[in-house]
Chains A and B, each alone.
Chain A
């Protein structure tokens, strides 16, 4: 299948390991990512200042996708959430649609809200499926234990994800991990929010939110925490050292993106998958997989 890859602002600058592994694994599974140079910010950072600015910015990107006649695949939970929400609003609220289209006229665009927007893992789950992944795996990640982190905007608001995953008992990422041959580790704070949204306002509170999960996961002995969003990464990988220092705990929980783990299971080399850019090296994991 062909789909537009929506990189957003953060991934293509700060999370190249995520991007490179997503592109490689998609290609291997027969998903054709098409780049659209004109895609920019989804508008999420404007929402606290002016909700309508977010809507118009997201609508601009949705309109570009509609012109191509293709659905969108995003790597960031916030991009996927924002675009999905606005597509839904534009589709269902005629008055709003007209208002937004009046604003979009100045850039020669028109939006209907017809485009489907999905996080990469959701796309894999829906289009390739657990069985499809299992069949494609050439090097099962036997002996590897992985802890999933879904992220709030992957699951919520649930009214926008009808027929997909459950916010109370999510399973899609866990099933996708199992499909790689790795074991899924369950832990008490599975559903916790990372706190990234308030890092700029109160580092103390944000760190306290992320700490619980890092502590839980390190206790389980998991080889890595598995993410699907660059913002969650800011907290769990970027802030981990500081959190270890402030809690006095010896935290060294490697953090990997789902397509990095998937790529290993598809027989790709860690070098190709950008593991050099992981700041807390998943040494134990790579040793088992690559020897």
Chain B
């Protein structure tokens, strides 16, 4: 990683993360590294390191965090959360960070595509005659799409923010 440019640090960043739903636990972190030791991604991709991410957030390295691809590598397995002595709930903190990234339009295109599918079909996979035919042959009841509520409940904005 390039050296930190102190002028670019955003002292508000940690507060923004902590104010997101799920981000509340961030400030209780005392950087003990238990989360990193429990994380199954960290040994496979060194860019992803829970404690390092917290450190970056606390330092205010907003762009380095929000514009990175590595924040999307969390598998949300809750391994870190289970071992944390400070009840930081790091899995949820990661969602808070990703939500902020989405607000800045830094997210993988697949996620916005899924959101559009939910607004249109109320489910991730469109259900047509082919699918219901297969179900019928196995004696399963048909699936009927009910997208109405989804369209009304999810604002018509790509990230929903």
Q: Once the chains bind, are B77 and A156 in contact (CB under 8 Å)?
A: yes
Residue B36 is within 8 A (CB to CB) of chain A in the complex: no
**Shortest distance between the CB of B118 and any CB in chain A (Å):** 5
Q: Once the chains bind, are A50 and B160 in contact (CB under 8 Å)?
A: yes
Residue B96 is within 8 A (CB to CB) of chain A in the complex: yes
For A167, what are the chain B residues with a Cβ–Cβ distance below 8 Å? 78, 82
Q: Once the chains bind, are A201 and B99 in contact (CB under 8 Å)?
A: no
Residue from A7, A49, A55 within 8 A of B107 (CB atoms):
A49
Q: Once the chains bind, are A209 and B74 in contact (CB under 8 Å)?
A: no
Residue of A nearest to B78 (CB): A156
Q: Once the chains bind, are B152 and A106 in contact (CB under 8 Å)?
A: yes
Q: Once the chains bind, are A50 and B45 in contact (CB under 8 Å)?
A: no
**Shortest distance between the CB of B90 and any CB in chain A (Å):** 11
Residue B52 is within 8 A (CB to CB) of chain A in the complex: no
Chain B at the A interface: SS class: loop
For A48, what are the chain B residues with a Cβ–Cβ distance below 8 Å? 72, 95, 98-99, 102, 107, 111
Q: How many A-B residue pairs have CB under 8 A?
A: 162
Chain A at the B interface: SS class: helix
- A48-B102, A205-B41, A209-B44 known; A41 and B118 CB under 8 Å? yes
Q: Give Cα A56–Cα B153 distance, bound, in whole angstroms.
A: 7
Q: Once the chains bind, are B140 and A205 in contact (CB under 8 Å)?
A: no
Q: Once the chains bind, are B78 and A49 in contact (CB under 8 Å)?
A: no
Q: Once the chains bind, are B108 and A200 in contact (CB under 8 Å)?
A: yes
For A286, what are the chain B residues with a Cβ–Cβ distance below 8 Å? none
State the B residues within 8 Å of A (CB): 20-22, 40-41, 44-45, 69, 72-79, 81-82, 89, 91, 95-96, 98-99, 102, 107-108, 110-112, 114-115, 118, 122-125, 127, 131, 134-135, 138-141, 143-150, 152-154, 159-161
State the A residues within 8 Å of B (CB): 7-10, 12-14, 16, 19-20, 23, 35, 37-38, 40-41, 45-53, 55-57, 60, 103-104, 106-107, 109, 152-153, 156-158, 167, 192-193, 195-198, 200-202, 205-206, 208-209, 274
If A12-B131, A49-B115, A56-B154 are given as contacts, then 9 extra A-B residue pairs at C-beta distance below 8 Å, sorted by A number, are: A37-B144, A40-B145, A47-B95, A50-B161, A60-B149, A104-B153, A152-B77, A198-B41, A205-B44
